[in-house]
Structure formats: C-alpha cells, structure tokens
Structure 1
C-alpha cells in the first residue's frame, strides 16, 4: 500500500517529511465528509477511533529523552492543559493521542496491509474504516499542526 509522504521540507501543516500520517490524511480525510450522508458511518468510524485510542494509550508513554520517539513526526511535543468546557477529545482528563504514537500505529497497520496485498474497495471495509478513523483522530487532536 503506497501512502504518499509529506511534501516540501517541513511537510504540510508543520509535519516533518516522511510522517505517515500526512499520506493517510491526504488519502482518507475526504471520507469524513460522507458523515453527513451516512449516519452508520459515524458510528463505525467512532468505534474504530476508540479501538485505536485503546491500542495506543494503555502502555506507558515513551520518553523523548530515552530516544524512543518517531522523529519524522515531531515527537515529544508537550500537550497543554485544556479547560473542562473544551470538547471531550481535548480535555485533560481524557488522555490525548500523541502524533508519534499514532504514526507508529499507522506504519505497522499499513505494513500489514501491504503484506496482505490489500486493495482499497469501492465502499468500506475494516481497513478503510480504520484509516478513516486515524484521519478523524488526527483532526480531533490537531496532530499535523
């Protein structure tokens, strides 16, 4: 599966070149516009986004000082406190998804898709829903700015 890398020296929206999130967003973000026409799609993408968050958050955070970060995505950036009136995804009592963690997840997932010789269907399957959910997480947590 070929996901185009970031364009330009710093990539779009401040993402470094080679960040896998940029290619996924470029390919699958337009699918979010279909939410208005397919209410079931919203629920499916929400479930996939929750599964991705659950996969990323249970383990301990990797320390930038330990050198265990995804450098191409600007890892190690601090997350500021957000007031309780903010959307749930931005609240401090709701652990945010980090760009480097999501990028690592996407690399593993797209590698698996390549190994299985997956091709994108006309509609939605598990993989397209999962990649669309990744786009939703990128948008909700503002991971490319």
Structure 2
C-alpha cells in the first residue's frame, strides 16, 4: 500500500482485512458489512455529486477512518471477540479499500 507513513488506512488494513475471509463462513456478515460500507459511502459521497459518481477516494476514506478511530479512542473502545458496530464499520472500510482498488492507488 503506497500510503504515507502513519496513514490510518495502513493499521485498519493490517487489523481488519483478514476479517473479509470470514465472509464464506458467516453469510450474515456479508450483509452487515455491505450495510456499513453503504453508510460510509453515504458519509463520504454527498448526494449532490449524484448517484452515478460513487468513487471512493483514498484521501477521503483515510480522513473518515481517522475521525472514526479518534472517536473510538475517546469512548475507550476495545475490540471484542466477534463483531460489534465498530468492527463491522472497520471491516467495511477494508472492503471499500479492496473494491475500489485503493491498496495500490
């Protein structure tokens, strides 16, 4: 990944990308991650851009992740066994990184 050192995407990918392999074992996980990915896209891509323009930019996603992980730190979140809102959201970020080919962008 050609992100600058300290990019929040590097840590998210290292920690949560392996969870995508759980899709084949947990069909409900696919739906949950898809819903979270849609919510992230809605947050990143304002409606005025139009539905045909749904390109997720690495810089925007990095800013989103930074804000989200800062919030997790503020609320003293710890990663649980299994899936909660935060793990689903961060797994969805990894799915978006993969689907929009942002690993090598």
The TM-score with structure 2 as length reference comes to 0.92
User: Which residue is 2:36 aligned to?
Assistant: 48
- Give the Cα separation in 2 of the matches to 1:103 and 1:143: 11
Structure 2 residue corresponding to 1:115, chosen from 44, 64, 74: 74
Instruction: After TM superposition, list the pairs within 5 Å mapping 1:49-68 onto structure 2.
Output: 49-58=37-46
Q: Which of structures 1 and 2 has the bigger CA Rg?
A: 1
Displacement over 6 Å in runs of 4+: none
**Residue 16 (structure 1) shift:** 1.5
The TM-score with structure 1 as length reference comes to 0.67
User: Which residue is 2:59 aligned to?
Assistant: 100
- Give the Cα separation in 1 of the matches to 2:76 and 2:34: 26
Q: Which runs of 5 or more structure 2 residues have no equivalent in the other structure?
A: none
Kindly indicate whether residue 99 of structure 2 is the aligned counterpart of residue 143 of structure 1.
no
Number of aligned residue pairs: give it: 102
CA distance 1:100–1:60, change in 2 (3 Å): farther
Q: Greater RCO between the two (CA within 8 Å, min separation 6)?
A: 2
**Greater fraction helix:** 2
